[in-house]
């Protein structure tokens, strides 16, 4: 509970589960974005009135697990663990239910009141998934509300259930694992000192210690809780010897097995007689050979359209300036004043006529490729090549954005998980010509050598970059 005594509700889920869409559908235009205190990690929050109750709702960054990886996950998990929300809304992608349930099982281990918002139900149905909501609720032991955030379906039921739980509470019980893992967790839970800084509850803390290992708690365990460190090492060694795998993999495998078991019990798969057209198109766009051919054709067509639209627009914009210059010299002859005015006309006309005709279609087409999801496919295709220069495939998105403008491209490097990738990508982006520089270069080359020379020059520069 926050200082203003309004209940805190946290929205948490894996990336691309529709969590932010669901949050925005509830928060509307009142949502605000700010940094977590003392960090550069952003989160969205709002205050909404539901049935006369004022609720603080917070949208955390997407998480695959409650074991922190990058800096954003560490900050988000710190907020989840130590702020102790009154209710967790776990947004789950129904079309990838088995994978998303692994995070759900981790959240259940915390023992906090929670609701599962089974989002993207329309996509799940298109994929042939028939989910038994009542059976899923029974297996998880928490309420499950089907939603389609993009159409507002299920939002009323979700908020009503949230108010009901805030009023009446909800007892969340952890789900059982195999005997040896359960025994290891129980043993470690029992030897936790009473003054140990527990996260959520003793069981959850014991599980995370097994998953994360003693090196995360090295100073704390070696200097203050040495017997606990010895007990942790014994539990880990026992699990590793019996399963022939690292302890964190044993726990992850248990959770994965349980998620698959719940998925199989609650979901029936109806195979469609024919694969949807978009799925077949997706296979073609990401084909290991044809995908690159299509990529080349797409960008060839991309720049062809830019030139086809830009050239007539350039003549249209420059025409009045040329007529004005001709009128100026015809009626006023040569002179200092005429030369100054002529320079102004050439500068203004050149700036408008060279930049805008190419800049506008370039930005429009870039936005179109992003909206239809093709830029994400480009990142997938280019992942192999990006790894050869020591970068992740995600770096291709800032690089492509840099052709529009270098500044937002550098800002967008925050999507990269590794600090090393962020630094290298940021250093390379200024070498990519932005749309302003590109249009001037292309216009000059096209003016003196012709449009095909300009296209060839740009493609050569693209390959060089």
Handedness of CA 59, 63, 66, 67 (dihedral sign): negative
Q: What was the pLDDT predicted at 272? A: 65
Average pLDDT for runs of 10 along the chain of length 465: 72 89 82 55 79 89 80 75 88 93 93 94 88 94 93 92 92 86 87 78 86 57 66 86 87 92 92 73 86 86 80 80 79 78 78 72 77 79 81 78 73 77 88 73 73 71 60
Q: What was the pLDDT predicted at 34? A: 55
Domains of the chain: 8-168 (3.40.50.300), 179-269 (1.10.287), 284-381+433-464 (no CATH)
Burial class (CB in 10 A: 0-12, 13-18, 19+), 388: exposed
- What secondary structure does DSSP assign to 421-458, as a single string? HHHHHHHHGGGS--HHHHHHHHHHHHHHH-HHHHHHHH
Inter-residue contact 12 to 60 (CB < 8 Å): yes
The structure tokens listed for 213 are 């290992």
Q: What was the pLDDT predicted at 39? A: 47
DSSP structure class, residue 299: H
Q: What was the pLDDT predicted at 267? A: 93
φ, ψ of residue 380 in degrees (nearest 5)? -65, -45
Q: What was the pLDDT predicted at 40? A: 46
The structure tokens listed for 396 are 């291709």
pTM over 0.85: no
């Amino acid at each position: 509970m926050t200082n203003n005594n309004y209940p805190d509700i946290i929205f948490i889920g894996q990336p691309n589960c529709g969590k932010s869409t669901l949050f925005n559908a509830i928060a509307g235009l009142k949502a605000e974005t700010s940094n977590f205190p003392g960090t550069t990690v952003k989160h969205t929050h709002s205050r909404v009135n539901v049935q006369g109750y004022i609720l603080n709702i917070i949208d955390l960054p997407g998480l695959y697990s409650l074991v922190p990886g990058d800096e954003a996950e560490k900050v988000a998990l710190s907020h989840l663990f130590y702020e102790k929300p009154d209710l967790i809304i776990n947004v789950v992608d129904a079309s990838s239910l088995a994978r998303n349930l692994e995070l759900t099982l981790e959240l259940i281990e915390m023992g906090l009141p929670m609701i599962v918002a089974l989002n993207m139900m329309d996509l799940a149905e298109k994929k042939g998934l028939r989910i038994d909501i009542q059976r899923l609720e029974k297996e998880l032991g928490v309420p499950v509300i089907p939603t389609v955030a993009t159409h507002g379906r299920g939002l009323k039921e979700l908020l009503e259930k949230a108010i009901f739980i805030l009023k009446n509470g909800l007892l969340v019980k952890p789900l059982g694992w195999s005997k040896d893992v359960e025994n290891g967790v129980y043993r470690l839970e029992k030897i936790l000192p009473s003054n140990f800084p527990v996260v959520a509850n003793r069981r959850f803390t014991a599980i995370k210690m097994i998953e994360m290992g003693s090196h995360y708690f090295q100073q704390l365990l070696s200097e203050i809780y040495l017997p606990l460190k010895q007990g942790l090492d014994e539990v880990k060694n026992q699990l590793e010897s019996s399963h022939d795998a690292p302890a964190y993999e044993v726990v992850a495998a248990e959770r994965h097995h349980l998620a698959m078991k719940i998925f199989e019990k609650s979901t029936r798969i109806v195979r469609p007689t024919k694969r949807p057209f978009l799925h077949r198109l997706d296979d073609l766009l990401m084909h290991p050979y044809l995908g690159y051919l299509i990529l080349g054709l797409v960008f060839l067509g991309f720049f062809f359209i830019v030139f086809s639209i830009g050239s007539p627009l350039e003549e249209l914009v420059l025409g009045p300036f040329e007529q004005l210059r001709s009128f100026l010299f015809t009626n006023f002859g040569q002179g200092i004043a005429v030369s100054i005015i002529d320079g102004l006309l050439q500068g203004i006309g050149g700036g408008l006529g060279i930049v805008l005709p190419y800049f506008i279609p370039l930005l429009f087409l870039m936005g179109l490729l992003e909206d239809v999801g093709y830029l994400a496919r480009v990142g997938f295709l280019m992942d192999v090549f990006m790894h050869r220069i020591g970068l992740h495939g995600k770096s291709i998105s800032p690089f492509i954005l840099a052709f529009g403008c270098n500044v937002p491209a550098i800002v967008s490097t925050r999507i990269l998980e590794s600090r090393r990738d962020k630094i290298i990508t940021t250093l390379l982006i200024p070498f990519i010509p932005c749309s302003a520089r590109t249009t001037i270069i292309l216009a000059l080359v096209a003016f003196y050598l012709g449009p095909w020379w300009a296209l060839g020059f740009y493609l050569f520069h693209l390959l060089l970059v």
